[in-house]
Amino acid sequence: MFVQVIRGHVSDPAQVRERLDTWLREVAPGAVGWLGSTSGVTEDGQLVALARFDSEEAARRNSDRPEQSAWWLETAKLFTDEPVFQDSTAVEVDTPGDPSQAGFVQVMQGRSRDLDRVRELMREDSTDWHSIRPEILGNLSIAHEGGAWTTASYFTSEAAAREGEQKEMPAESQQVMKEMQSLSVGEPEFLDLRDPWLHTPG
């Protein structure tokens, strides 16, 4: 899988939503290899978008299409700063539920001194998170260059997510989290999408 993460401040969330609806109608039908997208605007006006393709080659082919270029030319005018693009093929997906039904998505971004170790710890954690945190419908974990990372967590609702945060984690998971935090460079950012726009082909 290939994921492109786009982030930047926008002037009008409603106009951005209209542009995404236009993309779905006019551009998506010809976007071979497009798997879906997660996007939304935070309360402080930051657009966060994660576009998923089955390969980097498919994403490049879509970027080269005249329809895509024309669409982006108009959409880019809605940004009040220069949007940041981060591409990655180092993607891990965990879907205990149906992320397309999420009512709340939290995107986290940070940096680690040893991202390979962090991803190893996550894979080794044997905690049955589905029984402990049933409100989590899925997680999308993305590794970037230089130890940077992005994680998108899909929840049934923000209220359920906040309630789940208060639960005590198993001892094993606490140890895993402690080691992961020791490898962190600075504090991660939390970007809350309270009105997530979730799209898949068809």
CA 48 to chain centre: 8
8 Å CB contact between 138 and 99 = yes
pLDDT of the residue at 57: 97
Lowest model confidence (mean pLDDT) among 39-48, 110-119, 138-147, 167-176:
167-176
The CATH number corresponding to 90-193 among 3.40.640.10, 3.30.70.100, 3.40.50.720, 3.40.50.2300 equals: 3.30.70.100
Q: What is the pTM of this model?
A: 0.93
pLDDT digits (tens, 9 = 90+) for 65-112: 999 999 999 999 999 999 999 999 999 999 999 999 999 999 999 999
Please tell me if the domain spanning 2-89 has the same topology as the one spanning 90-193: yes
Q: 2-89 in CATH: which number?
A: 3.30.70.100
The closest of 37, 49, 38 to 10, measured between CA atoms, is 49
Q: What is the mean pLDDT of residues 135-142?
A: 96
Domain boundaries, the chain: 2-89, 90-193
Length of the chain: 202
